[in-house]
Amino acid sequence: MTTAAQASRRARQARPSRSRRRAGLPADAALLLIGACFVLPLLWLVLASLDAGAGHQTRVPGEVSLENFVAVMTPGLLFHPLWNSMVLSAGTAAVNLAAAVLAAYPLSRYQSRFNRPFLYAVLFGTCLPVTAIMVPVYGLFVQLELLDSMPATIFFMATTTLPMAIWMTKNFMDAVPVSLEEAAWVDGASGLTALRTIVLPLMRQGLGVVFIFVFIQAWGNFFVPFVLLLSEARQPAAVSIFSFFGQHGAVAYGQLAAFSILYSVPVLALYVIVARGAGSSFALTGAMKG
Amino acid sequence: MPVLPLQRPRSTPRIPARLRRKARLLPVLPAILLLLVFLAGPVLWAFHASFTNAALTGRNARSPGWVGLDNYQRLVTDPVLPLSLALTVLFVGGSAILGQNLLGLTIAVLMKQARKPVAAVVGTAVVAAWVLPEIVAAFAAYAYFSRDGTLNQLLGWLGLGQPDWLYSFPMVAIMLANVWRGTAFSMLVYRAALDDIPADVTEAALMDGAGGWQRLAFITLPMIRSSIATNLMLITLQTLAVFTLVWVMTAGGPSNSSTTLPVLAYVEAFKFGDIGYGTAVASVLILIGAIFGAAYVRLLRQGKP
């Protein structure tokens, strides 16, 4: 949508403001109530992490202490799993982005009978429930002796998010005007050279969005590494936090909450970056709508 | 767009040019390879393995034997399967199609009327539950619904009964948790859709004296119906695949009373070590997902002829 259209729409929306203000109060109240329901479960997480004697209950800690954070901040418990998460997520995002950019370029730049069927097949791929595929993937990995391998897990996770990434990357690439490349083609540059020197620098921001989206999904993924990575030394934080919960969870809720918060902070920060950059346009549904 | 039409080959058979055009598609290859090996491969392997007695450990893990339709025969007679199917339908229908969808729409509509800062704060709260890693969200939900958790504290203050949600009403707890976790997606979809409705349409209705509900029913909803359809499809598919939330909160218990299909497939394959049977269950889930996926793709194609 053009900005002019947006501006004129905003101007028109501003007019019925009096009736809006009158309708506003009940809407405010209803929204705040809903918001409170959404915050409550998270409130426990924050309060318990600061409470040395936390249980299931939500309560204001008698004495705010960082004991829980100190207790979990050990190499074995926190830093090593976080590092594994980092390797897994960054690897996944890198593999994913490379494949997505390469695939999106011909799809965006050349018309061919191959494009539409391929894009729809890819879209269909996004729809398969990944959890349903995990049992067969485990079976396949056993046969190929790929179980407990970081690279294999990275390639699998990159594939599960690849369909979404191809759609998003193609949409971002479509927004880069083709006239600049045409000049390069005339000068004899090949398609891939034009991609590297002209298109990619122009769509830096879009690439960042795709990278972060894939990274966030990989970072939060529990089920895939839970099934495919067996040895403790390779498990990411999502899985190690689950084992921690199984072993100490019943006694150390505060530590569990502290662990959860430290593990969540990177994704929350990345999400804020994307949301700021993307503004009101919702990149994900934009990708889904094609 | 630099269009070099592929449809009409020149009269002179310039094969190199045609090859060159084909070669342009080469960069798609890595993506295709990945998708074939790690997505299509497992799906096909699933249908194959569901006809074998592949096991997690032991002799049948190395060299599974062909057992024909045994797994499917067992599937049809297994009393847990109809229960699991029903629970999955209940889970998807209750928490996605009704819960997330309606609540997401409600929040989006309210946000248009509410004051900006209120809408922003509440939007952040709703999105926060969605952005958190799934395992963390699952822990928070587990604590919230546990016997001495926050929900029962609230009910206690109100002087109401305090059941043990995760034991007595596991499905209710899981469905509410999934609404909490996933509503943000619907909210974002509907907010974008509502923003795209031109203001003059709503204004014209206002002039004609249409009330709030009338405007919603006769103008807003029909205008965003393609977003509604898209959203319903996507949240159905997302909810079909939910595993972590259920696994952390109840692990499918007590006695299978919250075993949705993904949990059943996991339990059969990894707890009872019967990969063959677990794959048969997974195949059912893949088929359901494929049906919804095909419907979704059709829907999108119709939208853009």
Domains in chain B, CATH or no CATH each: 79-303 (1.10.3720.10)
Per-residue pLDDT at B7:
45
Decide if B34 and A9 are in contact by the 8 Å CB cutoff: no
Over residues B123-132, the mean pLDDT reads 90
Q: How far is CA B163 from the centre of its chain?
A: 29
Alpha-carbon distance B241 to B244, whole Å? 9
Can you point out the beta strands (E) in B42-123?
none
The answer to whether residue B12 scores a pLDDT higher than 60 is: no
Over residues B90-108, the mean pLDDT reads 93
What angle do helix axes A237-248 and A253-278 make, rounded to 10 degrees?
150
| Cα-only R_g, chain A | 24
Listed as ranges, residues in chain A with pLDDT below 70 are 1-24, 247-251, 277-290
Half-sphere exposure of A250 (CA within 13 A, CB side): 2
Decide if A220 and B107 are in contact by the 8 Å CB cutoff: no
Half-sphere exposure of A245 (CA within 13 A, CB side): 21
The answer to whether residue B36 scores a pLDDT higher than 80 is: yes
Decide if A131 and B242 are in contact by the 8 Å CB cutoff: yes
Secondary structure class of A142 (helix, strand, coil): helix
The answer to whether residue B100 scores a pLDDT higher than 90 is: yes
A152 CA to chain B: closest CA distance, Å? 10
Residue B17 contacts A, CB cutoff 8 Å: no
Q: How far is CA A171 from the centre of its chain?
A: 18
A28 CA to chain B: closest CA distance, Å? 5
- To the question of pTM greater than 0.95 for the whole model, the response is no
Residue scoring higher pLDDT (A288 or B298): B298
Over residues B141-159, the mean pLDDT reads 88
DSSP secondary structure of B180-220: HHHHHHHHHHHHHHHHTS-HHHHHHHHHTT--HHHHIIIII
Q: Among all residues of chain B, which has the CA nearest to that of A146?
A: B38
Q: Among all residues of chain B, which has the CA nearest to that of A114?
A: B25
Over residues B234-243, the mean pLDDT reads 89
Alpha-carbon distance B149 to B142, whole Å? 8
Per-residue pLDDT at B304:
54
| Other residues' Cβ atoms within 10 Å of the Cβ of residue A77 | 18
Residues of chain B neighbouring A27 (CB-CB closer than 8 A): 110, 113-114
Residue A34 has its nearest CB partner, among B4, B107, B135, at B107
Per-residue pLDDT at A16:
47
A187 CA to chain B: closest CA distance, Å? 15
Per-residue pLDDT at B239:
92
Decide if B282 and A134 are in contact by the 8 Å CB cutoff: yes
Per-residue pLDDT at A250:
62
Residue given tokens 């960069």 in the structure block: B27
Per-residue pLDDT at B303:
64
Residue given tokens 């002179």 in the structure block: B12
Per-residue pLDDT at A3:
46
What are the pLDDT digits (tens) for B22-35?
Answer: 777 788 888 888 88
Highest mean pLDDT, choosing among A60-64, B2-6, B99-103, B217-221: B99-103
Q: Which of A28, A130, A135 to mutate to test the interface with B (most CBs of B within 10 A)?
A: A135
Per-residue pLDDT at A251:
64
Contact B114, A24 (CB under 8 A): yes
Phi, psi of B52, rounded to the nearest 5 degrees: -120, 175
CATH topology assigned to domain A72-289: MetI-like fold (1.10.3720)
Per-residue pLDDT at A112:
78
Contact B245, B178 (CB under 8 A): yes
Per-residue pLDDT at B9:
44
DSSP secondary structure of A6-39: HHHHHHHHHTTHHHHHHHHHHHHHHHHHHHHHHH
User: How many cross-chain Cβ pairs, A to B, lie less than 8 Å apart?
Assistant: 315
The answer to whether residue B156 scores a pLDDT higher than 90 is: no
CATH 1.10.3720.10 boundaries in chain A: 72-289
Contact B22, B6 (CB under 8 A): no
Residues contacting B79, CB < 8 A, separation 6+: none
| Cα-only R_g, chain B | 25
* CA distances, A79 to each of A75, A220, A242 (Å): 5, 16, 15
Q: Give the range among B105-109, B125-129, B156-160 with minimum mean pLDDT.
A: B156-160
Secondary structure class of B66 (helix, strand, coil): strand
Secondary structure class of B52 (helix, strand, coil): strand
